[in-house]
Structure 1
Amino acid sequence: MSTYTRAQAIVDGVLVEAGSLVKENVFKWPVALTSAVWADCVAWSDDHSENQVYQDQSGRLWDVLYMASYEIRNSNGSYNQMLFQLFRVPRDGKSTEAEIVTLKLIVGPGDNGEPVITILLPNED
């Protein structure tokens, strides 16, 4: 029997590790975002800043992590899955105003049973 692990999903690019900003946002566990969340809410280039509005990728990641941590702090720790919202400028080559987007946060076991957090689009599993 073969199992697709979290580590394999990270290597394959299906999940993207949030990196060092996780600790700055007071997360105790590793955080990864799906590639779809990364593309929609985090990814940003100099071209986007020139054509749309100035932002940077680390600031956009900070916003996602901050709002996720805010939701966790306000949930009184009793949920393993929750929805949260944030404002982000769509990466479409023309938008300059932030729009609200809903994301899903799941706390679950990692490859070795340790707690991990995954941030997904609401329609992703």
Structure 2
Amino acid sequence: MKDDNGWEIVSTYSTKEAVDDGFLVKVDSKASEEAGIKFPVYLTRAAWDKYVEVPKGMEQLQNVSGRLWDVLYMFAFHARNVSSNFLQYDFISYLPDEGNWEPNEKLETPENRLNRLVTLKAVIQAQDFDDPSPAIFIMKPNED
């Protein structure tokens, strides 16, 4: 198969396939709209599992919707000041101190090892190869 420019298409992997396979998580539009985001939002599985899912032992303190709100609201807050399709932003995530720190995480304050200042990146691009409408993809800085 060739594209419109005559290039041979070797393979495609659609956003829909990535969601179906579990590599991307599509955020419910109600949650993103409440944060002031008008485009569809997807998080990589790695970002979702680490920063949205409630860590074991913290179920009485937090919930998925609250943790998702932190990720989305801070994206929306920082995106207001950016005119490009790329954004790196910080937010604070409450995580157990289990030695699983990643390069995109720092202590918020030395007194509290449970609050991590986390950097994520967001890219606004076409929702899919056959759907040029914009979508937001949020991930860890080392992901593509």
The TM-score with structure 1 as length reference comes to 0.87
Output the CA distance in 1 between the equivalents of 2:74 and 2:115.
15
Of Structure 1 and Structure 2, the greater helix share is in 1
Spell out, residue by residue over 1:79-122, the C-alpha distance to the aligned partner (whole angstroms, 9 max, x if none).
Answer: 10110001001256699721111000000011211100000100
SS in 1 for 2:43: strand
Higher relative contact order (CA 8 A, sep 6+): 1
Query: Does structure 1 residue 81 correspond to structure 2 residue 86?
Result: yes
Unmatched 5+ residue regions in structure 2? 1-9, 100-111
Instruction: Using the TM superposition, name which of 93-102 and 19-28 deviates more.
Output: 93-102
- Give the distance between the partners of 1:63 and 1:33, measured in 2 at CA: 13
Asked if 1 retains the 8 angstrom alpha-carbon contact of 2:97 and 2:113, the reply is no
2:125 to 105, 108, 122: 108
Structure 1 vs Structure 2 CA RMSD: 2.0
- Greater gyration radius: 2
Distance of 1:5 and 1:91 partners within structure 2: 34
**Number of residue equivalences:** 120
Name the CA distance, whole Å, in 2 between partners of 1:61 and 1:16: 12
Offset, 1:26: 1.3
Tell me if 1:118 matches 2:123: no
Of Structure 1 and Structure 2, which has the larger fraction of its residues in strand? Answer: 2
* TM-score of the two chains, using structure 2 as the length reference: 0.76
Identity %: 38
CA–CA distance in structure 2, aligned partners of residues 93 and 43 of structure 1: 16
Gaps of 5+ in 1: none
Question: Are 1:40 and 1:91, in contact at CA under 8 Å, matched by a contact in 2?
Answer: no
Decide which of 42, 50, 69 is 2:76's aligned counterpart: 69
